[in-house]
Each structure stands twice: as structure tokens, then as C-alpha cells.
Structure 1
């Protein structure tokens, strides 16, 4: 039986700073099957890899991503508060991350964030970049973004990031533009779990650390884990060691 694929959440963000090339490189070293990352858009429409729509948490700067050009973003350094000035990390572009995954034979989960929802006309550009690699899917908390992705590329795999209150749990079949559902591990219980299984969509779970019993002996309905600690899910290595 195949094991769930393991996506490194923002790279190996448990031990490297999130959404940086260093975090992606570490995830590859640790045996992750793929990378999960976030995409925002700059003022000039360049997709960059960063979670927040503004820079305060990551860079200590009171600026929004959408108010800055890609040239300005290249000069920004992100990192922990007291280290980023001397040991900060640059913000990657989406194309850099895609080419890294292609080179290292990694899958890629691209989560499209708020600034993409605000500028849906640029989704085609993102889809074109993502299509460089085969093992790719695009996710979002905004279902209209997935509709736009499918309009541009019907064969592109998509996943809807769901919560307790952003979906109609009695009619999950209506989300036809989502090939999968991504959710926090807290939703792996009733009354949600059976509805998810009956949807027959791919199920990937985030918020897992590798210490949960379900991750040690995963049930067949789980297609993937999205984790800060990809080395704790190295099923292939475990199988070889047995």
C-alpha cells in the first residue's frame, strides 16, 4: 500500500526560516516528497514566495507586499527579529522555487494568498510558471481562485483549504473545481471525517508534527501530510530499514 506523500510546510520550517531557499534545500536533504509554499504578488505582478501580505512579522517593516516592486523586494531580508539584519534571508520568486523543485524531482503545493485573490487576472501567469513541473497542485482558502485556475488550466490539480465554517459540509460535492481538500488535523474527526472520505477527493492534512498516532500508521484515505518536520515522515527510509 502506498504511503501518504510528505510536503514540507514552507520548506523544512521547523528547523529553517520559512519560505526561503534554505528551508527548501533542507527539506530536500531530509527526504521530503514535495514543498508547500505561499505566493503573494508584488506591485508589478511578480509572484514571490512569502506567507504574509505585509512585511512586519517577517522583516520588521511596515509595508505591504502589493505596494512594493519586485526590485524593492529583492533588497528585503527576512528572518528572526534579532538576527535578520546580519543573517537575514532573501525572499525567493516563484520561478526560483519551481526550478528548484524541477531540478530536485520534488512535488510542489503552491498556496495562493490574499494578493492573488485581489488580482485574479494574474492567475494565468502563475499557472504558466507552475506548469513547468508535472507533480504540482495549487491550493487556496479562496474557492474563486481555484475556479480561476481551472478556467485557465482544466488539468491543473487544485485543493481547497477548508475550515469548519468556510464550506457547506452537507454538500461537499459542489466544490467541483477542487480535486482535493486540505485541512488542519483538528478536522480529522466526526462529523467532518466521514463527509471528507465520502467526497472521494484527495485529503492532505497540515498541522502534523509526526508524533501523532495517525501519522505513524496512516489510514488509506490520507493522501498527504503537510508538515514543518518532513524527516519524521520518511516512510521510504523506514521501509528500507525494516
Structure 2
């Protein structure tokens, strides 16, 4: 089971920053997870919420601000270019989540694919694009079917959607998997790999190992390795 750092080693560092991903490397993560949004001038940046309020104290929407304005409000913000270059330099796989719904619609998938192809050495690491949007996953298939995709599931996602998705992986949340462990077997029976988020507690980490999870996404990579007794 691979351990991917959720927004970096975000239990110990500001999420989605270079410090968080450097921390993830130090903590032995096999790869990185990130969230991506487009600025007004179509620069893909690592950011989770629609606004900058929670992390930067700025109520502005990422989609309505230029990259320069976003950087001024939060100097630590990473572009997708910077993130991918760092991942390649450290030989770490990446899970890139495109956020929806957004003002730019499905333009984000087009830009993400452009950036993936433009990154030197990207073929040396594992790259996957994830989304809770079924339409986003299907658009990825149309744009570039060679890029691995993960269809993310939350509590209200229908099994029918997951089953019909073209994604190579399914990503349920740990809460749903804990309540209904049979989901893991159902996903495996579809011939899909299993990526689970966000797993920090000891019992949940051990459950994922027992259920044959392929990628465990955690805020605490070093703790997960300790629980699993990885060297």
C-alpha cells in the first residue's frame, strides 16, 4: 500500500505549500495529493476552497483573481508547474484533484493536461487526475485517455456513477469505507484500484491495509508508515 501526503504533510505544515511537500518527502511519503483551481488569468494554483478567506484572510474568489493578486494575498501559494517540477525532482507520484463546480467549468482539466505534458521528466513518475465530478473524469478520458484517473466518492455519490465511470481508480472517503467495508471488495471486483482519503487514525490505517487499499491518502505520512511498520 502506497502512502500519499494529503495536501502535503499537512498535519505539520501549512497545506499545499512547498514546506508541506518537503515535509512529506522527509516523512517518507510515496507521493503527493493536491487540489487545483484556476485563477482569472488561467494559472492553475494549489488551493482547496473557492475563496482565500480561510487560509489568507481574503474573501476573494480564486477564479476572480489574477495569479499576481492571489500571490500577493498568499505568497506561499504554489502553481501546478512548480508542484509538478518538485514532484519530478523528488521522484514522487502525484494525485491532482480538480475542483468543481467552478466558474471556468471544465477548462481546468484542459489546463491540467497541458501542464502535465509540458513538465520535463513527467514520464518518470506516476500521475493521476481525480475529481468528485463524473463529467470531469469523462472529459479527461476524451482529452487524454493515457492519463490515469480516480473518481472520488462522498457519502451521497451513487454507486451507479462509480460503476459507469471510466476511471481506473475509485476513491471513497474513509468514513464511508469504515461504515461499509464491503465497498472495497465491490470496487476491486470492478477491476479498479482503490485510493482512500483522508486516513489518519491508527485503526483506519490498519483497516485500509486489511482491505487491500492501493493508495492511502493521509495528512500524516510518517505516522502511517509507523503504524504499518514500514521501514
Q: What is the TM-score with the length of structure 2 in the denominator?
A: 0.88
Q: 1:119 aligns with which of 105, 111, 131?
A: 105
Query: 1:200–1:187: structure 2 CA closer, same or farther, 3 Å change rule?
Result: farther
Task: Tell me whether 1:103 sits opposite 2:89 in the alignment.
Answer: yes
Structure 1 counterpart of 2:137, from 125, 146, 156 = 146
Among 77, 98, 101, the alignment partner of 1:91 is 77
Query: Alignment partner of 2:21: what SS?
Result: helix
Q: 2:209 aligns with which of 206, 218, 233?
A: 218
Corresponding residue of 1:174: 164
Shift of 1:37: 0.5
Q: Name stretches of at least 5 consecutive residues in structure 2 with no aligned partner.
A: none
Task: Could you tell me which runs of 5 or more consecutive residues in structure 1 were left unpaired when the two chains were aligned.
Answer: 78-88
Q: Secondary structure at the match of 2:187?
A: helix
Spell out the pairing of 1:10-49 with structure 2 (5 A cutoff): 10-49=7-46
SS of the residue aligned with 1:150?
Answer: helix
Larger radius of gyration: 1
The TM-score, its normalising length taken from structure 1, stands at 0.84
Cα distance, 1:6–1:52 mapped onto 2, change above 3 Å: same
1:143-193 deviations in Å (ceiling 9; x for gaps): 1111111111111000011123222x2574311x21111111122225534
Contact 2:168-2:193 within 8 A present in 1 as well: yes
- The alignment's C-alpha RMSD in Å is 2.2
Moved more, 210-219 or 149-158: 210-219
Conserved 8 A contact 1:7-1:32: yes
1:74 is paired with a residue of what secondary structure? helix
Paired residues of 1:16 and 1:22 also in contact (CA < 8 A): yes
